[in-house]
Amino acid sequence: MIIKNWKNLLPLIGIVLFVYVIFRIDIRNVISEITRANKFFIFIAFIFLFIMMVVQTFKWYYIARIQKINIPFKKALEVNIISNFYGFVTPSRAGGVVRAEYLREYTENKNIGKGLFNFIIDKIFDILSIIFLAILFSFVFKDKLDIHIAFFITLFLIFSLATLIFIKKERSKFFLGFIYRKLLSNKIKNKVKITFDTFYENVPKKRYLALFFIFSIISWILIYIIFYFIGLSLSIQLSFIHYLAILPIGTLVAMLPISISGLGTRELTLISLFGLFNVPAAKVFSMSLIDIVIVGIIPSIIGIILILRKNKEN
| 3-state SS string for 244-272 | HHHHHHHHHHHCCCCCECCCCHHHHHHHH
Instruction: State the pTM of this model.
Output: 0.86
The packing angle between helices 11-24 and 265-275, to 10°, is 50
CA 300 to chain centre: 14
244 versus 19: which is more confidently predicted? 244
Using a 10 angstrom Cβ sphere, with 0-12 exposed, 13-18 middle and 19 or more buried, the burial of residue 101 is: middle
135 versus 182: which is more confidently predicted? 135
- Measuring CA to CA, which residue among 68, 84, 58, 53 is closest to residue 211? 58
Q: What pLDDT score was predicted for residue 205?
A: 81
> Per residue in 15-38, pLDDT tens?
677 777 777 787 888 889 999 999
Q: What pLDDT score was predicted for residue 85?
A: 85
Q: How far is CA 213 from CA 90, 219, 301, in A?
A: 25, 10, 29
DSSP letter string, 22-43: HHHS-HHHHHHHHHTS-HHHHH
- Measuring CA to CA, which residue among 22, 89, 8 is closest to residue 268? 22
Q: How far is CA 173 from CA 63, 294, 296, in A?
A: 22, 42, 37
Span 49-56, mean pLDDT? Answer: 95
How does residue 2 score in pLDDT terms, banded at 50, 70 and 90?
very low
* 19 and 275 Cβ atoms separated by less than 8 Å: no
> Per residue in 252-298, pLDDT tens?
888 876 666 667 788 888 998 999 999 999 999 999 999 999 998 99
- For 59, phi and psi rounded to 5 degrees? -55, -55
The packing angle between helices 240-254 and 209-233, to 10°, is 110
